[in-house]
Chain A
């Protein structure tokens, strides 16, 4: 007889793994199914920035808790608290920076405005063409390429049964629970959590649910190893640049510039018309980049709904089915919101509220 798990989790990124571990620790029998490898989607290929300056105002309490989780994960995920500067190169950007950072500070982020002199004292290689700067001492980064290794090791030492290269092709629902079909075996579970990351729309479609999800195709590039050029995480008032120098000397350049492709076509592709300006913006901020070479650019899918807030809660029309994803800033917030999700499934009291996935979506730009 097939084992009837307490819960089946679809997706082995940060959210799927962290929720699985939380539930298993509380005594649930958990099966986790990942279509590729653990932590190789956006969880493993994002730029790794842990910056409160690029988090959404309403998500700030979650980001603050998320930072704390990453700090606890520590060396194993390459966590470093460096501090972070966000730069404005003209008056328009300075105004944007002031508006945005003030709101984020009011939401609890430890953000201050500093003079260009202070920036250049700490970061002498940053361009002198600076109009305004904000600083957050709590900012830092983790090494996202270690996400898979980190969670695989934790899963190996837990009671979670996990299977990689296990694409779900069908999900049957009955009053007893769910029958989850992969190309070969089927698995039974009383509950179901969709944590499919960039592939969430496809995962939800297996339950005949059409979610208004769009996948963004975020681009990241990395240089060869270099002597020290910067010590802090560097951002841009528009949010279109994140830059940090890793412990090994390589410099990672991101900022959400869009590649091409959709989750249906496999992995996304780097687009020369966006990766070039992304690197140009990085070089404008840090002129010394000119001496280095880009050795690799890549993309990762980030799922979003129209209001850019998470889907985190019970799916209204499918009993015992839950969803967790579409978290803007998901790398930072992921380990924390997964614990909330776990608590929600366990019926525990929640430290912070989740985000009803059955809400009406309205477009939001602000």
Chain B
């Protein structure tokens, strides 16, 4: 007997929809999310410190999602951090999670992993300094706290988050000193043709550009941050024009811009820790944000009873996420033999149509091959363990070519974040030396816990006499 038919991990746009769909069909489900409220990153809720604030399209959609979840009476545990996923002896999934300082173990027949995406930031010298935050990080800060990261902020990187971040700072009343965009105006013009599928969103994007233009914010098109200067925090930023491969050109325009904060991001990576731990197959597709869990249109992975919905199965964006959640729920319900079979052709078509917009925005963030050349030897790749590009290159050049071997030799990815922010960059550096494809390079072996696990929770209510001590080792 399992505790639940289905456990959904992640209460963002995809996971929430999956949970609602499965509940409606009569499945016994549990929705786990590590944030304090449902909504994921796109529809992140305001902190309890905000009593009232102007509504935005994101807050309206997020509030609707949260009230829908309440209406469905879904068993939704917030602040729940999944640390372990494994199969038990009865071939059920066993999920370990931490909630408010306590450990819990629950079993289920099926899992939908809807763990979303995470930020990708390609480091340069100084990018580890306080005052430098990610673009997605900045949007979390705005949505949750209506707070800006400084008095003089530079916004740098690529894709729609770049423009949204600049717009949000202005909307909230902050100051943007410059926008440093890897994308060219032409890139944006081309992307907007693909974005015609969602005229409403395209129009919103146009209003962001309009506000930025009206505020006379300098935009450096086809440029990149080459270095961040500062001792204890960011003081200024060096920028340079780039070539078609996104590599800083020696003859191009160079500038130093003073700032007390920098929001920088280079697209999103699917968050694959959960599906990796569950042993599903993952594949590398640059147009989908890099490594993602391999699924069909219904989110079926190659592990029985394991489904994935949303950006962790490839960055299709927030528009497609609810459809992907619903499709994964339908597939999981079929596996569970719950509810009626339904015609899903229309739903698949809707998902694919919605995905077009997301794919067009993701396309703006596909890293071109010169990007990694902007990362200096002294740049810190692994923030946790302070490992530089130079150290990585020395290890790779001595013959350590697999991600596990590089990690062991340099400690890159051995810190508390678990390599979440450095594995991708380490592999880009590996490519420049080994010449292998990302698929050939592969991934590090998955290790629990997915997030650091407090020993205080593990040791709680522990009685020494209950310790299951096996027979001692042979003498």
Chain A residues packing against B (C-beta within 8 Å): 36-40, 44, 54, 56-57, 89, 96, 100, 103, 145-149, 152-153, 156, 164-165, 223-224, 237-240, 256, 258, 260, 267, 269-272, 275-277, 279-281, 283-284, 289-298, 308, 328, 364-366
By the criterion CB–CB under 8 Å, are A37 and B473 in contact?
no
| Distance, CA A69 to CA B219, complexed state (A) | 62
B458 & A270 in contact (Cβ 8 Å cutoff): no
Q: A164-B401, A224-B415 are in contact. List 6 more A-B contacts (CB 8 A).
A: A146-B409, A267-B445, A270-B86, A284-B459, A289-B455, A365-B474
Residues of B within 8 A of A280 (CB): 458-459, 462, 467
Neighbour of A37 across the interface among B402, B447, B455, B472, CB < 8 A? B402
- A224 touches which of B399, B416, B464 (Cβ 8 Å): B416
Chain B residues within an 8 Å CB radius of A328: 473-474
> In the docked arrangement, what's the CA distance between A89 and B462, Å?
15
Which among A38, A57, A272, A280 has the highest number of chain B CB atoms within 10 Å? A272
Residues in chain B near residue A295, CB distance under 8 A: 415-416, 418, 449, 452
Closest CB of chain A to B427's CB: distance in Å?
15
User: Is there contact, CB below 8 Å, between B404 and A37?
Assistant: yes
Q: Is B105 an interface residue (CB 8 A)?
A: yes
B414 A296 Cβ-Cβ under 8 A:
yes
Chain B residues closer than 8 Å to A39, beta-carbon distance:
408
Q: Out of A152, A275, A279, A365, which one reaches B400, CB within 8 Å?
A: A152
The smallest beta-carbon distance between A87 and chain B, in angstroms, is: 12
Identify B464's interface contact among A258, A284, A365, CB under 8 A.
Answer: A284
CA of A298 to CA of B408, assembled, Å = 13
Which residue of A is nearest B405, CB measured? A37
Is A270 within 8 A of B459, CB to CB? no
B453 within 8 Å of A by Cβ?
Answer: yes
**1/0 contact trace for B85-107 toward A, CB 8 Å?**
01000000010100000010100
A356 nearest CB across to chain B (Å): 19
| Given known contacts A149-B409, A280-B459, A366 and B475 CB-to-CB distance under 8 angstroms | yes
Interface string of B392-415 (1 = CB under 8 A from A): 000100111110110011010011
- Chain B: minimal CB distance from A142 (Å): 13
Is B84 part of the binding interface, using a Cβ–Cβ cutoff of 8 Å? yes
- Docked complex Cα distance between A96 and B364 (Å): 66
- B475 near A223: Cβ-Cβ < 8 Å: no
Q: How many inter-chain residue pairs (CB < 8 Å) link A and B?
A: 143
Q: Are A297 and B448 in contact, with the CB atoms below 8 A?
A: yes
Q: Would B86 and A298 count as touching, CB distance under 8 A?
A: no
Residues of A within 8 A of B464 (CB): 89, 284
CB atoms of B458 and A283 under 8 A apart: yes
Closest chain-A Cβ to B280's Cβ sits at a distance in Å of: 13
Question: Could you write out 13 A-B pairs with CB less than 8 Å apart?
Answer: A40-B404, A54-B473, A100-B472, A145-B408, A145-B414, A148-B408, A240-B472, A256-B473, A258-B470, A279-B455, A293-B452, A293-B454, A328-B474
In angstroms, how far is the closest chain A Cβ from the Cβ of B35? 19
Which listed residue (A36, A237, A275, A281) contacts B402, Cβ 8 A? A36
**Chain B residues whose CB sits within 8 angstroms of the CB of A366 once the complex forms:** 474-475
Chain A CB within 8 A of B57 CB? no
B455 engages A292 (CB within 8 Å): yes
Contact of A37 with B469 in the complex, beta carbons under 8 Å: no
* Complex: A277 Cα to B454 Cα, angstroms: 14
Q: How far is the CA of A293 from the CA of B416 in the complex (A)?
A: 9
B449: contacting residue among A100, A146, A294, A364, CB under 8 A: A294
What 1/0 mask marks residues of chain B from 418 to 456 whose CB sits below 8 Å from any chain A CB? Answer: 100000000000000000000000000101110011111
CB distance from B328 to the nearest CB of A (A): 24
Q: Are A283 and B462 in contact (CB under 8 A)?
A: yes
Which residues on A sit within 8 Å (CB–CB) of B416? 224, 293, 295
Residues in B neighbouring A100, C-beta threshold 8 A: 472, 475
Asked if A297 and B447 sit within 8 Å, CB to CB, the answer is yes
